[in-house]
Copies of this chain bind each other. A is one copy, B any other.
Amino acid sequence: MSARMNNAEVRLMTPLGWDISTVVSELREVREKSLADRQRTKQPPRLPSRKILIGILDRLSTALFPNRLGTSDLTDDSVDYFVGHTLDATLRDLLEQVRRELQFSSGQTPIRDRDREQAIEITQTFATRLPEIRAVLDSDIRAAYEGDPAAGSVDEVLVCYPGVTAIIYHRLAHALHQLGVPLIARIIAEIAHSATGIDIHPGADIGGSFFIDHGTGVVIGETAIIGQRVRLYQAVTLGAKRFPAHENGALVKGNARHPIIEDDVVIYAGATILGRVTIGRGSMIGGNVWLTRSVPPGSSISQAQVRSEIFEGGSGI
């Protein structure tokens, strides 16, 4: 056996052992440098956990729709026990996440009494809003059912449609955003984004009977305002114009920068609407339309011309 093979065998017996400690200490240096750059303490308060929030959202959904998303075979009597217990346990877990966010934003260790009090208040207020959230979700589900001729029943819509999943998560995230825990709200929005490809900022204000069909690639910005009975298709963007300097000469922050969509508007796939413009009530925005100005109620916008032609031997992309 050659010396080299011998060596290989030896290494095989102690795989990877020799440089772990170097890697570990170099990683420490990078971490410390990173912390120093941000003037952060070494052991910051914990962030809310995405993994735990996934579980919380899952259980909140079953508490909202116990017969459809919850345990099967619930009887009329037992459903309240199910809902009550599920809410009780889930809100307790949510309370802990709310505490973490408050402590994280205040940057105080250990947690202050007022953060603790506030966490309880936020969670309780959130709980009291659940019935109205369920009521408006009922309108969304009905809108999906009525808006898609392929939908066989209201229940199917609840179980199948990514647009329905996205709006359930959004309405919960939006309530939390309003109550003062924007980070938790954002994490929830990203959970929905990852599952459905629909990216709705939790700050967006969306009316009842809202429906997104297909949905992949939809982006709705933070200050968007959407009325009643609005319908969107896949890849619609309700975005911001990035350079307000062109209008007021100064980079303003946190201002209203996304579209207002009035009641009964339909926006087809791939349309892009940018800036604080208003799409008037009952308008229809065609597929792939690019729009950066307001349109009056009842408008019907489509692309200016057919964009394709036949070329003999024409090239592809």
Q: Pick the residue among B11, B14, B83, B88 that contacts A117 (CB under 8 A).
A: B11
A-B contact sample (5 more), CB < 8 A, given A12-B116, A18-B77, A27-B63: A26-B130, A47-B156, A197-B217, A243-B315, A300-B316
Given A12-B110, A159-B47, A217-B217: A78 touches B290 (CB 8 Å cut-off)? no
Residues of B within 8 A of A155 (CB): 44, 47, 104
In chain A between 157 and 184, which residues have their CB closer than 8 angstroms to a CB of chain B?
159-162, 182-183
Chain copies in the assembled complex: 6
Contact B95 A15, beta carbon cutoff 8 Å: yes
Q: State in angstroms the CA–CA spacing of A272 and B304 once bound together.
A: 16
Q: Pick the residue among B20, B47, B48 that contacts A81 (CB under 8 A).
A: B20
Interface magnitude class on chain A: 35 or more
Contact A222 B120, beta carbon cutoff 8 Å: no
Residues of B within 8 A of A77 (CB): 14, 17-18, 20-21, 88
In chain A between 138 and 164, which residues have their CB closer than 8 angstroms to a CB of chain B?
138, 149-150, 152-156, 159-162
Report the minimum CB–CB distance from A298 to chain B (whole Å).
9
Contact B46 A88, beta carbon cutoff 8 Å: no
Given A13-B43, A16-B127: A186 touches B199 (CB 8 Å cut-off)? no
Given A120-B11, A219-B269: A291 touches B313 (CB 8 Å cut-off)? no
Contact B235 A150, beta carbon cutoff 8 Å: no
In chain A between 88 and 140, which residues have their CB closer than 8 angstroms to a CB of chain B?
88-89, 91-92, 95, 104-105, 109-110, 113, 116-117, 120, 123-124, 127-128, 130-131, 134-135, 138
Residues of B within 8 A of A80 (CB): 24-25, 28, 81, 84
